[in-house]
Amino acid sequence: MTTTLRPEGPETPTAAGGRTRRWRILTNGRQIGSLRTTAVPVGGQLWGEIAELEITEGRGRGRGTFGALAAEEVLRGWGCTRVDVRIPDSAPTARALAGALGYTERSLALAKRLTTAPALPAGVSARPFEEDGLRAWLDRSSADYARALVRSGLTEEQTRARVGCDQRLLPEGADTPGNALASLYGPDGGPQPYGSIWVDLHLTDLPDGEPLAWVMVVEVSPAHRGRGHGRTLMLLAERACLAAGVRNLGLNVFADNEVAIGLYASLGYGITNLLYGKQL
Protein backbone atom coordinates (compact mmCIF):
# COMPACT_ATOMS: atom_id res chain seq x y z
CA MET A 1 0.00 0.00 0.00
CA THR A 2 1.55 3.28 -1.16
CA THR A 3 0.65 6.65 0.37
CA THR A 4 1.57 9.81 -1.51
CA LEU A 5 0.98 13.58 -1.43
CA ARG A 6 -0.28 15.18 -4.65
CA PRO A 7 -1.30 18.79 -5.44
CA GLU A 8 -5.04 19.42 -5.30
CA GLY A 9 -4.70 22.63 -7.28
CA PRO A 10 -2.18 25.27 -8.32
CA GLU A 11 0.06 27.03 -5.86
CA THR A 12 -1.19 30.54 -5.11
CA PRO A 13 0.54 33.61 -3.63
CA THR A 14 -0.68 35.05 -0.33
CA ALA A 15 -1.44 38.69 0.37
CA ALA A 16 1.64 38.92 2.60
CA GLY A 17 4.00 37.75 -0.15
CA GLY A 18 4.11 34.08 0.79
CA ARG A 19 2.77 31.00 -0.95
CA THR A 20 0.12 28.38 -0.23
CA ARG A 21 -1.13 25.13 -1.73
CA ARG A 22 -3.73 22.45 -1.04
CA TRP A 23 -2.68 18.81 -1.25
CA ARG A 24 -4.46 15.48 -1.53
CA ILE A 25 -3.28 12.50 0.52
CA LEU A 26 -3.61 9.39 -1.64
CA THR A 27 -3.34 5.67 -0.89
CA ASN A 28 -2.94 3.53 -4.00
CA GLY A 29 -4.28 6.45 -6.04
CA ARG A 30 -7.42 6.91 -3.89
CA GLN A 31 -7.85 10.11 -1.88
CA ILE A 32 -8.01 9.44 1.84
CA GLY A 33 -7.33 12.96 3.15
CA SER A 34 -6.06 16.47 2.45
CA LEU A 35 -4.05 19.32 3.92
CA ARG A 36 -2.69 22.79 3.17
CA THR A 37 0.86 24.14 3.37
CA THR A 38 1.62 27.86 3.62
CA ALA A 39 4.91 29.75 3.72
CA VAL A 40 4.64 33.05 5.61
CA PRO A 41 7.32 35.78 5.28
CA VAL A 42 8.56 36.94 8.69
CA GLY A 43 11.31 39.55 8.67
CA GLY A 44 13.22 38.12 5.73
CA GLN A 45 12.58 34.50 6.76
CA LEU A 46 9.90 32.03 5.73
CA TRP A 47 7.90 30.24 8.42
CA GLY A 48 5.74 27.31 7.47
CA GLU A 49 2.20 26.46 8.49
CA ILE A 50 0.31 23.19 8.11
CA ALA A 51 -3.47 23.57 8.14
CA GLU A 52 -6.68 21.79 7.13
CA LEU A 53 -5.14 18.36 7.76
CA GLU A 54 -7.98 15.85 7.57
CA ILE A 55 -8.00 12.08 7.18
CA THR A 56 -11.34 10.96 5.78
CA GLU A 57 -10.65 7.24 5.44
CA GLY A 58 -8.58 4.77 7.44
CA ARG A 59 -7.90 6.80 10.55
CA GLY A 60 -5.52 5.27 13.06
CA ARG A 61 -3.27 3.80 10.38
CA GLY A 62 -0.54 6.43 10.44
CA ARG A 63 -1.92 8.39 7.52
CA GLY A 64 -2.09 11.62 9.49
CA THR A 65 1.55 11.14 10.45
CA PHE A 66 2.48 10.62 6.80
CA GLY A 67 0.56 13.75 5.78
CA ALA A 68 2.24 15.93 8.40
CA LEU A 69 5.75 14.65 7.60
CA ALA A 70 5.18 15.05 3.86
CA ALA A 71 3.95 18.60 4.45
CA GLU A 72 7.12 19.36 6.42
CA GLU A 73 9.19 18.23 3.44
CA VAL A 74 7.23 20.58 1.17
CA LEU A 75 7.91 23.47 3.54
CA ARG A 76 11.61 22.63 3.75
CA GLY A 77 11.71 22.72 -0.04
CA TRP A 78 10.11 26.17 0.06
CA GLY A 79 12.90 27.40 2.36
CA CYS A 80 10.95 27.53 5.64
CA THR A 81 13.03 27.43 8.82
CA ARG A 82 10.23 26.38 11.20
CA VAL A 83 6.68 25.06 11.07
CA ASP A 84 3.62 25.87 13.18
CA VAL A 85 0.23 24.18 13.43
CA ARG A 86 -2.91 25.60 15.02
CA ILE A 87 -5.06 22.93 16.62
CA PRO A 88 -8.57 23.40 18.03
CA ASP A 89 -8.88 22.82 21.76
CA SER A 90 -11.53 20.20 20.92
CA ALA A 91 -9.08 18.00 18.95
CA PRO A 92 -7.09 15.90 21.46
CA THR A 93 -6.07 13.35 18.80
CA ALA A 94 -4.44 16.07 16.71
CA ARG A 95 -2.65 17.43 19.78
CA ALA A 96 -1.32 13.96 20.56
CA LEU A 97 -0.09 13.58 16.97
CA ALA A 98 1.71 16.94 17.15
CA GLY A 99 3.44 15.90 20.36
CA ALA A 100 4.50 12.56 18.88
CA LEU A 101 6.07 14.38 15.90
CA GLY A 102 8.16 16.65 18.11
CA TYR A 103 5.98 19.75 18.16
CA THR A 104 5.79 21.71 21.41
CA GLU A 105 2.90 23.81 22.61
CA ARG A 106 3.86 27.47 22.28
CA SER A 107 0.76 29.53 22.94
CA LEU A 108 -3.01 29.60 23.19
CA ALA A 109 -5.42 31.77 21.24
CA LEU A 110 -8.44 32.95 23.22
CA ALA A 111 -11.50 34.97 22.25
CA LYS A 112 -14.61 36.50 23.73
CA ARG A 113 -17.88 37.81 22.37
CA LEU A 114 -18.47 41.27 23.79
CA THR A 115 -21.95 42.51 24.70
CA THR A 116 -21.93 45.50 27.03
CA ALA A 117 -19.14 47.88 27.99
CA PRO A 118 -17.83 46.89 31.44
CA ALA A 119 -17.51 49.49 34.18
CA LEU A 120 -14.03 50.32 35.43
CA PRO A 121 -13.19 50.04 39.14
CA ALA A 122 -13.70 53.19 41.15
CA GLY A 123 -10.78 55.56 41.35
CA VAL A 124 -9.00 54.64 38.10
CA SER A 125 -9.08 56.42 34.77
CA ALA A 126 -7.80 55.90 31.24
CA ARG A 127 -5.82 58.41 29.22
CA PRO A 128 -4.70 58.38 25.61
CA PHE A 129 -1.17 57.12 25.19
CA GLU A 130 1.43 59.87 25.26
CA GLU A 131 3.38 59.86 22.00
CA ASP A 132 6.68 60.85 23.55
CA GLY A 133 6.66 57.72 25.72
CA LEU A 134 5.56 55.30 23.01
CA ARG A 135 8.98 54.22 21.75
CA ALA A 136 10.35 53.49 25.21
CA TRP A 137 7.19 51.52 26.06
CA LEU A 138 7.38 49.50 22.84
CA ASP A 139 11.05 48.74 23.48
CA ARG A 140 10.27 47.45 26.98
CA SER A 141 7.32 45.41 25.74
CA SER A 142 9.36 44.01 22.87
CA ALA A 143 12.11 42.89 25.25
CA ASP A 144 9.58 40.99 27.39
CA TYR A 145 7.99 39.54 24.27
CA ALA A 146 11.35 38.42 22.92
CA ARG A 147 12.20 36.56 26.11
CA ALA A 148 8.85 34.77 26.00
CA LEU A 149 9.34 33.84 22.34
CA VAL A 150 12.70 32.24 23.10
CA ARG A 151 11.15 30.29 25.99
CA SER A 152 8.46 29.07 23.59
CA GLY A 153 11.02 27.51 21.25
CA LEU A 154 12.09 30.19 18.76
CA THR A 155 15.75 30.79 18.00
CA GLU A 156 17.31 34.20 18.67
CA GLU A 157 17.28 34.95 14.94
CA GLN A 158 13.62 33.98 14.58
CA THR A 159 12.76 36.05 17.64
CA ARG A 160 14.39 39.15 16.16
CA ALA A 161 12.45 38.63 12.93
CA ARG A 162 9.12 38.24 14.75
CA VAL A 163 9.61 41.24 17.04
CA GLY A 164 10.79 43.40 14.15
CA CYS A 165 7.61 42.68 12.18
CA ASP A 166 5.35 43.55 15.11
CA GLN A 167 7.16 46.82 15.80
CA ARG A 168 6.25 48.04 12.31
CA LEU A 169 2.51 47.80 12.99
CA LEU A 170 2.22 51.40 14.27
CA PRO A 171 3.59 53.49 11.36
CA GLU A 172 1.87 56.64 12.66
CA GLY A 173 2.64 56.02 16.30
CA ALA A 174 -0.14 56.24 18.86
CA ASP A 175 -2.39 57.87 16.25
CA THR A 176 -2.20 54.98 13.77
CA PRO A 177 -5.77 54.44 12.51
CA GLY A 178 -7.51 51.25 13.59
CA ASN A 179 -5.59 50.96 16.85
CA ALA A 180 -6.40 51.88 20.44
CA LEU A 181 -3.61 52.65 22.91
CA ALA A 182 -4.35 53.77 26.43
CA SER A 183 -2.74 53.99 29.86
CA LEU A 184 -4.38 53.35 33.21
CA TYR A 185 -3.92 55.85 36.06
CA GLY A 186 -4.82 55.79 39.72
CA PRO A 187 -6.87 58.27 41.77
CA ASP A 188 -3.86 60.41 42.63
CA GLY A 189 -3.41 61.32 38.97
CA GLY A 190 0.35 60.85 39.26
CA PRO A 191 2.64 60.85 36.25
CA GLN A 192 3.32 57.10 36.30
CA PRO A 193 0.59 54.83 34.89
CA TYR A 194 -0.46 51.54 36.45
CA GLY A 195 -0.10 49.95 33.01
CA SER A 196 -0.90 50.32 29.33
CA ILE A 197 -2.66 48.44 26.56
CA TRP A 198 -2.58 48.28 22.76
CA VAL A 199 -5.46 46.82 20.74
CA ASP A 200 -5.64 46.33 16.97
CA LEU A 201 -9.32 47.10 16.41
CA HIS A 202 -9.74 45.15 13.17
CA LEU A 203 -7.04 42.54 12.83
CA THR A 204 -9.11 40.18 10.67
CA ASP A 205 -12.62 38.97 9.90
CA LEU A 206 -14.24 35.90 11.40
CA PRO A 207 -15.79 33.27 9.08
CA ASP A 208 -19.18 34.98 9.45
CA GLY A 209 -17.69 38.28 8.28
CA GLU A 210 -17.65 40.00 11.66
CA PRO A 211 -14.48 41.93 12.58
CA LEU A 212 -12.12 40.53 15.20
CA ALA A 213 -9.98 42.87 17.31
CA TRP A 214 -6.76 41.66 18.91
CA VAL A 215 -4.89 42.56 22.09
CA MET A 216 -1.35 43.24 20.90
CA VAL A 217 0.21 44.22 24.24
CA VAL A 218 -1.11 44.37 27.78
CA GLU A 219 1.48 45.41 30.35
CA VAL A 220 1.22 46.27 34.03
CA SER A 221 4.04 48.45 35.33
CA PRO A 222 6.38 46.38 37.55
CA ALA A 223 5.67 48.52 40.65
CA HIS A 224 1.92 47.89 40.36
CA ARG A 225 1.73 44.19 39.58
CA GLY A 226 -0.35 41.79 41.63
CA ARG A 227 -3.09 44.35 42.36
CA GLY A 228 -5.68 43.49 39.70
CA HIS A 229 -4.65 46.11 37.16
CA GLY A 230 -4.23 43.53 34.40
CA ARG A 231 -7.95 42.79 34.70
CA THR A 232 -8.76 46.50 34.51
CA LEU A 233 -6.60 46.91 31.40
CA MET A 234 -8.55 44.11 29.72
CA LEU A 235 -11.78 45.92 30.60
CA LEU A 236 -10.31 48.99 28.90
CA ALA A 237 -9.63 46.88 25.81
CA GLU A 238 -13.23 45.65 25.74
CA ARG A 239 -14.56 49.18 26.09
CA ALA A 240 -12.35 50.36 23.21
CA CYS A 241 -13.63 47.55 20.98
CA LEU A 242 -17.28 48.25 21.68
CA ALA A 243 -16.73 51.99 21.14
CA ALA A 244 -15.36 51.12 17.69
CA GLY A 245 -18.32 48.84 16.93
CA VAL A 246 -16.32 45.61 17.26
CA ARG A 247 -17.86 42.80 19.31
CA ASN A 248 -15.17 40.10 19.13
CA LEU A 249 -11.85 40.36 20.94
CA GLY A 250 -9.01 37.85 20.83
CA LEU A 251 -5.49 37.48 22.16
CA ASN A 252 -2.55 35.12 22.41
CA VAL A 253 -1.05 33.98 25.67
CA PHE A 254 2.12 31.91 26.05
CA ALA A 255 1.50 28.39 27.28
CA ASP A 256 3.76 28.82 30.33
CA ASN A 257 1.92 31.93 31.59
CA GLU A 258 -0.53 30.21 33.93
CA VAL A 259 -1.41 33.41 35.81
CA ALA A 260 -2.50 35.19 32.63
CA ILE A 261 -4.42 32.14 31.40
CA GLY A 262 -6.35 32.08 34.67
CA LEU A 263 -7.08 35.81 34.42
CA TYR A 264 -8.49 35.55 30.90
CA ALA A 265 -10.59 32.52 31.82
CA SER A 266 -12.10 34.44 34.74
CA LEU A 267 -13.03 37.24 32.32
CA GLY A 268 -14.90 34.84 30.05
CA TYR A 269 -12.30 34.23 27.33
CA GLY A 270 -12.40 30.75 25.83
CA ILE A 271 -9.63 28.85 24.06
CA THR A 272 -10.14 28.76 20.29
CA ASN A 273 -6.95 26.93 19.33
CA LEU A 274 -3.47 26.02 20.48
CA LEU A 275 -0.27 26.80 18.59
CA TYR A 276 2.33 24.05 18.31
CA GLY A 277 5.67 24.49 16.54
CA LYS A 278 9.07 23.03 15.84
CA GLN A 279 12.23 23.85 13.92
CA LEU A 280 12.71 22.44 10.42
Residues 136-152 have pLDDT tens digits of 888 888 888 999 999 99
Q: Please give the C-alpha separations between residue 45 and each of 76, 150, 232, in angstroms, as whole numbers.
A: 12, 16, 37
Query: Mean pLDDT, to the nearest integer, of 89-108?
Result: 93
| 163 three-class SS | helix
Q: Which domains does the chain have, with CATH numbers?
A: 3-80 (no CATH), 112-272 (3.40.630.30)
pLDDT reported for residue 167: 67
Which amino acid is residue 153, in one-letter code? G
Instruction: Name the amino acid, one letter, at 72.
Output: E
pTM score of the predicted model: 0.87
Is residue 100 over pLDDT 70? yes
Determine contact, residues 271/154, Cβ cutoff 8 Å: no
Q: How far is CA 34 from CA 77, 95, 170, 241, in A?
A: 19, 18, 38, 37
